[in-house]
């Protein structure tokens, strides 16, 4: 067994009490004295410097990494309020390195990605790298830049998955955890090397609807024109609403009807949520949209969402080559959480049924995900996604 994981969860209101409870449970569950990494996820009320300080004080020099989330996922369920800690113990032939970057701006985002990539490579430059997991501030408008910077250093086909931190849907501030530090406007990540067996699955389940259209003018994550008309027209036509009405229903439209980018050679459309609509009719999307690409309006249902989860689980199993997962990491889009509502637990149930009822599971709801589109292939290129469930199964 290459990796041993112990999970502890607490919903105690006091953050120090919560850390103590979660950590003692995680220690009990790992059956090891030595740990190599602690992954920490929490709902927004635990995003407090005291939380990280307490964890640091109790764990010593163990690297800590994680972020805030709308809700946290464990094998025991989905918790709107709580703190979850996963302690990891790696086999001697596996190495790990953690790094972070701060103060990212729209102008420096690609460079920040490169810097994070360099820092992650650090001591692992000369060994075979297997996998990287990245967390970034969920309010960074276009995370695609960070990804391209990272890919420049780590390789385009390098298996990389990531999550954009979330808050309680107020979109005010999301937090990243790195060792004893808590910060926003940055990113942090883990790079794993050595003997590692893992499976990745990323699916969304949204289907294209209506006729294909072409992006005729775009820059980064802002689409100005579609079919040589103001981009907002696509939504105005489909929903028979004017700009003001669309702005009123923005949240619902963004979750249920994203834009799907057609990528030649890829199995699925790449989804982009609508962040806002500019007065000139430009659409601000969560993630970049290349000019001249073909797009479609996408539609999803609870059923298609859960079917996609099934498919993602199957891909993880394929990647693990029949071996069981020692731990499962889930990055699930907040859009899916809202769409599924009371059925959110059903999605977790599907993952548990597919990957083992007793397998330690830890996860978050994200404002964006990074994962290879054709996840079963090592050659799959990592993209910035919206609306997906990204599942990572790690085994020996």
Per the DSSP assignment, residues forming a β-bridge with 182 are 177
Q: Does 379 bind another protein (CB under 8 A)?
A: no
Q: Name the minimum Å distance from CB 73 to another protein.
A: 18
DSSP character at residue 291: T
Cα 150–361–133 angle (5° rounding)? 5
* From candidates 88, 120, 215, 297, binder to another protein by CB under 8 A: 297
Stretch of residues binding another protein (CB under 8 A), selected from 83-91, 146-154, 244-252, 354-362: 244-252
Regarding 266 and contact with another protein (CB under 8 A), the answer is: no
Across the beta sheet with 129-136, the strand order is: 94-101, 187-194, 129-136, 160-164, 369-372, 382-385
For residues 204 and 256, give the distance between their C-alpha atoms in angstroms, rounded to a whole number. Answer: 12
For another protein, which residue of 322, 342, 357, 379 counts as binding (CB under 8 A)?
Answer: 342
In order, the DSSP letters of 283-333 are EEESS---TT-EEEEEE--HHHHHHHHHHHHHHHHHHTTTPPPSEEEEEEE
- Give me the least distance between CB of 209 and another protein, in Å please: 5
245 near another protein, judged by CB under 8 A: no
Q: Is 240 in the site for another protein (CB under 8 A)?
A: yes
Which range of residues in 89-97, 152-160, 184-192, 235-243 is near another protein by CB under 8 A?
235-243
387: nearest Cα among 318, 314, 291, 287:
287
**Residue of 29, 54, 51 lying closest to 41 (CA atoms):** 51
Considering only residues 124, 131, 229, 299, which one is a binding residue for another protein as defined by CB under 8 A? 299
Convert residues 56-95 into a mask of x (bound to another protein by CB under 8 A) and - (unbound): ------------------------xx--------------
From the number of C-beta atoms within 10 Å of its C-beta (0-12, 13-18, 19+), residue 122 rates as: exposed
Closest to another protein by CB, 142 vs 236, is 236
339 phi and psi angles, rounded to 5 deg: -65, -45
Listed ranges 93-101, 116-124, 205-213, 353-361: which one lies at the site for another protein (CB under 8 A)? 205-213
Per-residue x/- marks for another protein, 155-184, CB under 8 A? --------------xx--------------
In the complex, minimum distance from the CB of residue 334 to another protein, in angstroms, rounded to a whole number: 13
Q: Which stretch binds another protein (CB under 8 A): 203-211, 224-232, 273-281, 371-379?
A: 203-211
Q: How far apart are CA 54 and CA 59, in angstroms?
A: 9
The rounded distance, in Å, linking the Cα atoms of 295 and 304 is: 20
| Binding range to another protein, per CB under 8 A, among 27-35, 247-255, 365-373, 382-390 | 247-255
Instruction: Write out the H or E segment, with its range, that includes residue 236.
Output: helix 233-239
Q: How far is the CB of 298 from another protein (least distance, A)?
A: 10
- Out of 252, 290, 345, 378, the only residue in the binding site for another protein (CB under 8 A) is 252
| CB 174, min distance to another protein, A | 17
- 201: number of Cβ within 10 Å: 28
Q: List all residues 6 or more positions away from 109 whose beta carbon is below 8 Å from its beta carbon.
A: 140, 142, 143, 145, 146, 149
DSSP alpha helix (H) spans, 86-155: 109-121, 144-154
Cβ closest to another protein, residue 14 vs residue 353: 14
The set of residues, in sequence order, having a beta carbon less than 8 Å from that of 243 and lying 6+ positions away, is 232, 236, 277, 279, 281
For another protein, how many residues bind (rule: CB under 8 A)?
21
In whole angstroms, the minimum distance from the beta carbon of 68 to another protein comes to 17
User: Is there binding between residue 211 and another protein (CB under 8 A)?
Assistant: yes
Task: Kindly state the smallest distance separating residue 288's Cβ from another protein, in Å.
Answer: 25
Cβ pair 370, 134 in contact under 8 A: yes
In the shown chain, the binding pattern of residues 100 to 139 toward another protein, with x for contact by CB under 8 A and - for none, equals ----------------------------------------
Cα–Cα distance for residue pair 361/347, rounded to 1 Å = 13
**Judged by CB under 8 A, which of 118, 249, 266, 278 binds another protein?**
249
- Contact between 161 and 168 under an 8 Å Cβ cutoff? The reply is no
Residues in touch with another protein (CB under 8 A): 80-81, 169-170, 209-211, 237-240, 249, 251-253, 256-257, 297, 299, 341-342
């Amino acid at each position: 067994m290459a990796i041993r994981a112990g999970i502890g969860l607490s919903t105690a209101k006091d953050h120090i009490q919560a850390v103590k409870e979660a950590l003692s449970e995680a220690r009990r569950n790992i059956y090891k004295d030595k740990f190599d990494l602690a992954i920490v996820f929490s709902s927004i009320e635990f995003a407090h410097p005291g939380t990280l300080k307490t964890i640091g004080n109790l764990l010593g020099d163990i690297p800590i990494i994680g972020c805030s989330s709308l809700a946290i996922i464990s094998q025991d369920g989905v918790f709107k309020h709580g703190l979850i800690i996963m302690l990891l113990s790696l086999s001697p032939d596996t190495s790990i390195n953690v790094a972070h970057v701060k103060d990212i701006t729209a102008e420096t985002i690609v460079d920040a990605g490169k810097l994070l990539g360099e820092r992650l490579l650090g001591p692992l430059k000369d060994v075979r790298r297997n996998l990287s997991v990245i967390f970034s501030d969920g309010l960074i408008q276009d995370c695609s830049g960070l990804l391209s910077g990272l890919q420049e250093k780590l390789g385009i086909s390098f298996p990389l998955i990531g999550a954009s931190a979330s808050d309680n849907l107020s979109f005010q501030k999301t937090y990243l955890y790195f060792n004893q530090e808590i910060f926003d406007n940055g990113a942090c990540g883990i790079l794993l090397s050595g003997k590692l067996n893992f499976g990745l699955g990323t699916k969304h389940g949204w289907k294209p609807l209506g006729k294909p259209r072409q992006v005729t003018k775009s820059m980064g994550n802002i689409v100005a024109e579609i079919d040589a008309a103001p981009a907002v027209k696509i939504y105005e036509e489909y929903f028979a609403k004017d700009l003001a009405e669309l702005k009123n229903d923005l949240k619902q439209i963004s979750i249920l009807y994203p834009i799907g980018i057609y990528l030649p050679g890829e199995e699925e459309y790449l989804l982009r949520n609508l962040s806002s609509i500019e007065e000139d009719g430009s659409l601000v999307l969560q993630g970049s949209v290349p000019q001249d690409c073909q797009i479609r309006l996408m539609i999803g249902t609870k059923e298609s969402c859960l079917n996609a989860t099934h498919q993602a689980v199957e891909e993880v199993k394929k990647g693990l080559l029949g071996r069981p997962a020692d731990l499962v990491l889930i990055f699930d889009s907040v859009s899916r959480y809202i769409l599924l509502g009371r059925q959110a637990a059903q999605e977790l149930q599907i993952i548990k049924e597919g990957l083992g009822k007793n397998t330690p599971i830890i996860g978050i709801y994200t404002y964006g995900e990074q994962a290879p589109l054709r996840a079963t292939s090592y050659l799959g290129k990592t993209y910035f996604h919206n609306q997906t469930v990204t599942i990572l199964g790690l085994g020996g």
